[in-house]
């Protein structure tokens, strides 16, 4: 176990190390060992298997082959051919892959210990509660009932098995990395399923962002100190949306074939999220709130795919059933009529909605070396250890 002293060494040599990190990608283990566990929340970008314990099957179905074919060699509930960003972060931090909460609860995960962290993310989850969409007249899928609020309730339910005293909770939560998101992408899927103007779509953003920030406040009040909050992906490059919202005017697309107005919209969401995160950081100076810029990390892959080893046609789907983007609603990945490409590592999009392990690997690299985290994820280690008890905890102690 890494003590606070190794973090102080990091603090003194931070500038020198930052230089080293920029040149090579070898981050010293002593630096990354600073987090003792990971707790995560979100949707299919982060779900490592909670989906398996939820009754309804989804389209595409991440529980069926060829999901998992590249790395786990079986479907695990991860919506990709292999590891997700969360897996790469855990590996780099020398922590075990983060186990799904429902797997632990159902006794499927044996010998769980606090070091293994817990993942509360559910594929399809929204930031806002399902009832919000129901009231607006949308046909709500079951997954919307595993909103961020529900995931937080699970976390609170689980807390007594993590720690039993104020001091032990402070230690476990204070030394953990909390990853809250990406979440919110699915919230916009409901309004986007109908014809809607950009201005109308924008009216949803304050509510979605507020659901995320109140979850963060709550986690901080429970004892979280270091939180990484990813923004939305540039879904204007997402083949399923590109297929659904195809327009004739070529000027509406950028040079990579992404829909410009959609990316403008998701950038708008991210800007508002960042503004609110800055406010939270001022409100809670003892914490480290890190924004993870998934948007620009993915946009970089879409704009220069060949530079990163991907094929030229970056909006083409690896596992799909035909059509201009190889994304076909009637033959989505894991259903009949869809086949996987031979080499998923040449594709950014795995199934039209989710990315390949290869793309997630590149994004993780950009997060961990600080290119796409504000402030940098690794440098946050220095002030992250909780040693003195100067914050109040409001959870019930037994
Ligand atoms: C907390 O106490 C409960 C009940 O005594 C016990 O089951 C649980 O294992 C304890 N948790 C920890 C982390 O010690
Ligand atoms: C989409 O899938 C259906 C069902 O497999 C198939 O009949 C159709 O031809 C496919 N469309 C394209 C454009 O390939």
> Per-residue pLDDT tens for 187-213?
999 999 888 888 989 999 999 999 999
**Ligand 2: residue whose CA is nearest its atom 13:** 323
- How far, in Å, CA of 125 to CA of 157, rounded? 19
DSSP readout, 120-173? ---TT--SS-HHHHHHTT----GGGGS-HHHHHHHHHHHHHHH-SSHHHHHHHH
Q: Are strands 118-119 and 176-180 parallel, antiparallel or unpaired?
A: unpaired
Q: Which atom of ligand 2 is nearest to the CA of 336?
A: 5
Q: Which atom of ligand 1 is nearest to the CA of 114?
A: 13
Given its phi and psi angles, is residue 297 left (phi above 0), alpha (psi -120 to 50 degrees) or beta?
Answer: alpha
Is the beta carbon of 165 within 6 A of some atom in ligand 1?
Answer: no
CB 119 within 8 A of CB 101: yes
**Ligand 1: residue whose CA is nearest its atom 5:** 164
- How far, in Å, CA of 182 to CA of 85, rounded? 10
Per domain, the residue ranges of the chain are 30-386
Active-site residue, from 47, 81, 256, 354? 354
CB 386 within 8 A of CB 226: no
Q: Return the number of other C-beta atoms located less than 10 Å from residue 193's C-beta.
A: 11
- Cα 398 to averaged position of ligand 1 atoms, centre (Å): 10
Length of the chain: 398
- How far, in Å, CA of 178 to CA of 195, rounded? 36
Q: Which residue has the higher pLDDT, 249 or 144?
A: 249
CB 278 within 8 A of CB 215: no
Tokens of 59: 């389209």
Q: What is the pLDDT of residues 370-394, one digit of tens each?
A: 999 999 886 445 334 343 333 333 2
- The answer on pLDDT for 39 being more than 80 is yes
- How far, in Å, CA of 296 to CA of 294, rounded? 6
Per-residue model confidence (pLDDT) at position 1: 36
Phi–psi pair at 266, nearest 5 degrees:
-70, -30
Tokens of 246: 């195809």
The set of protein residues with a Cβ atom below 6 angstroms from ligand 2 is 321-323, 328, 330-331, 337
Q: Which of 288, 287, 298 is nearest to 364 (CA)?
A: 298
Residue 288's DSSP bridge partners are 226
- Among the bound ligands, name the one nearest to the CA of residue 326: 2
- Cα 324 to averaged position of ligand 2 atoms, centre (Å): 11
Q: What is the pLDDT of residues 258-317, one digit of tens each?
A: 999 999 999 999 999 999 999 999 999 999 999 999 999 999 999 999 999 999 999 999
Which CATH number fits the domain 30-386, given the four candidates 1.10.3720.10, 3.10.150.10, 3.40.50.1110, 3.40.50.11540? Answer: 3.40.50.1110
CB 29 within 8 A of CB 94: yes
Is the beta carbon of 164 within 6 A of some atom in ligand 1?
Answer: yes
**Ligand 1: residue whose CA is nearest its atom 7:** 161
- The answer on pLDDT for 18 being more than 60 is no
- How far, in Å, CA of 163 to CA of 172, rounded? 7
CA distances from 233 to 110, 182, 193, 260, 295 (A): 34, 8, 18, 13, 4
- How far, in Å, CA of 10 to CA of 13, rounded? 5
Tokens of 357: 């392990």
Is the beta carbon of 389 within 6 A of some atom in ligand 1?
Answer: no
Per-residue model confidence (pLDDT) at position 378: 65
- Cα 329 to averaged position of ligand 2 atoms, centre (Å): 8
- The answer on pLDDT for 229 being more than 90 is yes
- Does the annotation count 44 as an active-site position? yes
Contacts of 326 by beta carbon, 8 Å cutoff, 6+ apart? 239, 316, 317, 318, 320, 352
């Amino acid at each position: 176990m890494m003590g606070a002293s190794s973090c102080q060494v990091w603090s003194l040599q931070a500038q020198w190390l930052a230089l080293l990190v920029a040149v090579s990608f070898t981050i010293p283990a002593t630096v990354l060992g600073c987090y003792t566990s990971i707790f995560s929340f979100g949707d299919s970008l982060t779900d490592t298997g909670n989906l398996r314990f939820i009754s309804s099957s989804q389209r595409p179905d991440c529980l069926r082959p060829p999901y998992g074919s590249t790395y786990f060699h079986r479907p695990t509930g991860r919506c990709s051919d292999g590891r997700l960003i969360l897996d790469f972060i855990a590996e780099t931090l020398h922590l075990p892959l983060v186990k799904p909460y429902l797997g632990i609860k159902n006794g499927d995960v044996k010998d769980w210990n606090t070091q293994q962290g817990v993942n509360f993310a559910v594929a399809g989850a929204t930031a806002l509660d399902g009832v919000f969409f129901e009231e607006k007249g949308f046909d709500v899928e079951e997954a919307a009932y595993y909103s961020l609020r529900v995931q937080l309730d699970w976390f609170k339910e689980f807390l007594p098995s993590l720690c039993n005293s104020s001091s032990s909770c402070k230690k476990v939560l204070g030394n953990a990395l909390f990853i809250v998101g990406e979440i919110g992408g699915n919230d916009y899927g409901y309004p986007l399923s109908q014809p809607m103007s950009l201005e109308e779509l924008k009216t949803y953003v304050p509510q979605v962002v507020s659901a995320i920030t109140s979850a963060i406040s709550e986690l901080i009040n429970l004892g979280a100190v270091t939180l990484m909050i990813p923004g939305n992906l540039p879904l204007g490059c997402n083949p399923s949306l590109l297929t659904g919202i195809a327009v004739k005017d070529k000027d509406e697309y950028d040079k990579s074939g992404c829909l410009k107005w959609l990316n403008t919209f998701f950038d708008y969401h991210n800007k508002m999220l960042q503004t609110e995160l800055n406010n939270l950081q001022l409100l809670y100076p003892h914490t480290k709130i890190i924004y993870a810029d998934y948007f620009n990390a993915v946009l970089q892959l879409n704009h220069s795919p060949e530079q990163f080893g991907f094929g030229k046609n970056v909006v083409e789907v690896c596992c799909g059933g035909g059509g201009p983007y190889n994304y076909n609603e009637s033959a989505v990945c894991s259903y009949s009529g869809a086949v996987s490409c031979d080499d998923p590592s040449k594709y950014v999009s795995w199934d039209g909605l989710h990315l390949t392990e290869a793309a997630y690997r590149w994004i993780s690299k950009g997060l961990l070396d600080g290119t796409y985290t504000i402030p940098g994820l690794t440098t946050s280690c220095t002030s992250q250890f909780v040693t003195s008890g100067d914050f109040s905890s409001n959870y019930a102690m037994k």
